A = this chain, B = another copy of it.
Amino acid sequence: MSRSWLVLADGFLTQRNAKTAHGVLRYTQDDVAGVIDREHAGKDLIEILPELGRKAPIVASVSEGIAGGATSLLLGVATPGGWLPGHWRDWVKEAIEAGLEIVNGLHGFLREDEDLVRLAEESGARLWDVRDPPGDIPLFSGKSLEVPQRTVLTVGSDCAVGKMTTALELANAARVKGVEAEFVATGQTGIMIAGRGIAVDRVISDFTSGAAEKVVLESNPSSSVLLVEGQGSLWHPAYSGVTLGLLHGTAPEALVFCHQPNRTQIEEPPFTRLPSLIEMIDTYEHLARFLRPAKVACISISTRGLDEDVGRWASNEIEETTGIPTGDVFHGDAPKLWAALAEHLALDA
C-alpha cells in the first residue's frame, strides 16, 4: 500500500522519547501528510527539527491531518505511561472512525484494546501492532545460508550506536550507485520505515534465530544486497542473546561494526566496560565463523555529541588502528562506507 503518515507526537515532538517518530520522519519513503503537535502547530517540521531533512505541516488535530491526505496514524512516542494518554486515545478513535490505518510502535498492543478493536471492525480500519511478531515463526533451519542475496548485518558495541541508521544509509548509498539494496528491519522503527519486518526482541527466545532467518528469507527476491538492522550488543548483558540470535539467524557474509568512539562502557546497568575495538570486532567475527565466515568490512561511528573536528580525528584514528575503512554516516560518510562494503563483497558497483 502507499502510505501517507500522520505522526502523533503531541507534546513530545522535540524530545528523546520521540525517537521512533524521528526515525520514521527522517527515513520513510512514504509521504508525510502531517505531524500532530499542538505546541508547534502552524509551523513546518523543517523549522523545528531541521536535522530530519523533512518538510511537513505541523497540525493540531487528526482532522487537519486527514484533510492533508493522511492514510495512516503513527504512534511512535514512548509515552511515560506506556499506553495512550487520555486525549491521544480520542485522536486514535477519531482516526479509526475515519478509516485510517493505525500503526503502533508502543509496547502495548492495539489488538488487546477491546474498544479500539470494535471500532476498527466497524470502520474497516487496519490496526497494526508493529512489535507484535507473526505467529508462524519457525525454528532456525539454515536456509538463510542459501539465499541468493548478499547479506550484511550491522552489529555494535552497545545499544543506540547507529545500527539502524547505518543500515538505512548504506542501503541508500548503494541505491545511488544503482545497486538493488534493501534495508531489512528487525525493530519497531525500522519496521515502520520498511513497511515490514519482525521485532526480533519480542519473539519467544527459542525462535530468535528463526525470526532473523525469516526476515532474510522474506526479503525482496530482486534485491541483490540485504542490509539487515542489528540489535543490542554482545557486551550488553540484557540483550546479548538477541544480538547473537540475529548474527546466527541472518548468517551474514559481511558485518558493519557500529560504535560511538567516546563510549567506554555500556550506557545502562550494570555499565560494563567495553573491550578494545579490535577485541569487539574479533569477537563478532569469531562467533560468526563456524556458521559462515563474515568479516567487518567497515566501521560506522556515531560522533553525535562530539565537535565535528574531534569526530573526524576519531574516525581517522580508528581507521588507522584497525586498518578498516571508518566513517560517520551522520556526517555524510555513507558513500565511503558503501564503497568499502562493495569492494569487500567484490561487487562491481
- Name A's B-contacting residues (CB within 8 A): 139-142, 145, 200-210, 234-235, 237-246, 248-249, 251, 269-270, 272-275, 283, 286-287, 290-291
Contact = CB atoms under 8 A, between A and B. Distances in A.
> Which of A139, A140, A237, A287 is the most central at the interface, judged by chain B CB atoms within 10 Å of its CB?
A237
A184 B183 CA distance: 42
Given A240-B248, A269-B142, A270-B142, A287 B205 contact: no
Given A204-B204, A244-B244, A286-B283, A209 B237 contact: yes
Contacts of A234: 244, 287
A202 B202 contact: no
> Which of A140, A202, A290 is the most central at the interface, judged by chain B CB atoms within 10 Å of its CB?
A290
Nearest to A141: B269
B206 A201 contact: yes
**Top 6 closest pairs, chain A to chain B, by CB:** A241-B245, A142-B270, A237-B248, A140-B238, A241-B241, A201-B206
Contacts of A203: 204-205
Contacts of A251: 237
Contacts of A200: 205
Given A140-B238, A272-B290, 20 more contacts: A139-B238, A201-B205, A204-B205, A205-B207, A205-B208, A206-B239, A206-B242, A208-B241, A209-B237, A209-B240, A209-B241, A210-B238, A234-B287, A240-B248, A241-B244, A241-B246, A242-B245, A244-B244, A272-B291, A273-B290
24 contacts: A139-B238, A200-B205, A201-B205, A202-B206, A204-B204, A205-B207, A205-B208, A205-B242, A205-B245, A206-B238, A206-B239, A209-B237, A210-B238, A234-B287, A235-B290, A237-B249, A237-B251, A240-B245, A240-B248, A241-B241, A242-B245, A272-B291, A273-B290, A283-B287
Give the number of times this chain occurs in the complex, counting copies.
2
Contacts of A239: 206, 209
A125 B206 CA distance: 30
A2 to B, nearest CB: 32
A275 B248 contact: no
Contact of A291 (B204, B243, B270, B291): B270
A200 to B, nearest CB: 7
Given A205-B205, A205-B242, A206-B242, A237 B270 contact: no
A147 to B, nearest CB: 13
